[in-house]
Chains A and B, each alone.
Chain A
C-alpha cells in the first residue's frame, strides 16, 4: 500500500469548513483513498473513500486531485464533536485481508 503524508495537527474554528490535506504521491492505479477518524481512544470510524472522482456523503466530502497524488477531506461545518485524529489511508480494494494501515494522522482541534 502506498505511503501517505499528513500534517500532524490543525485547528479549525467551530462552524467553519475543516480542510484536511493528504499527500499520496506513490499511489497506484488500483488504490483507493480512505479516511477514518478516531475520537480520543474510541474505535476508529469510517468517514469516506474514493478512487478518482470526488465523493460526498452525510459526513464529509473527499476531493482527489486529477493526478491522484493528493486529496483533501472537507468537513463542511465543523463542530466540537469533530475534534479527533484523522487518518488518510491508501490501499488496494480487494476481497482478501482488509487490513488497514494507520499512519500518525492529523490531530484536528475544533476551536469554540
Chain B
C-alpha cells in the first residue's frame, strides 16, 4: 500500500531536549516536504527536498533542520525545541517525473513542548 509514515504520532517533550520526527515514503517519490498546522494559520511549509541531498527552506524554517540521505526518508530535527514549536506536523511526498497533482500526506505528529 502506498503510504507516508511518521513517527512518533504523539510526543510530549520539554524545552531544549533535541528530538527527531521521522518520515518515510514507499512510493519512490523525489519530492518530500514538512508542514506545520496551527489553528488560524493553516498549513505552513517548513522545509522541502526535491531529491537526495537536496533540501531547501520553506516559509517557516527557523528552529528546524532536515536531511535527505536516502530517497525514502526525510526526518525533521528540532535541535532545541521551544513551546512555540508546539504544533501538528505533516510530512508529504510526491513524484516529480510527471505532474499528476497528487501529493501524499502522512498521518501527522502532534507535538507538545513544555
Chain A interface (Cβ < 8 Å from any Cβ of B): 32, 34, 41-46, 48-49, 93-104
Chain B interface (Cβ < 8 Å from any Cβ of A): 4, 31, 33, 42-43, 45, 48, 50, 56, 58-59, 88, 90, 92, 94, 96, 99, 101-108, 110
Q: Whole-angstrom distance between the alpha carbons of A44 and B93 in the complex?
A: 12
Q: Which residue of A34, A45, A49 contacts B105 across the interface (Cβ within 8 Å)?
A: A45
Q: Whole-angstrom distance between the alpha carbons of A8 and B55 in the complex?
A: 35
The main secondary structure of chain A at its interface with chain B is loop
- Beta-carbon contact of A98 and B103 below 8 Å: yes
Residue of A nearest to B90 (CB): A43
Q: Which of A44, A94, A96 has the most CB of B within 10 A?
A: A44
Q: Which of B43, B101, B110 has the most CB of A within 10 A?
A: B101
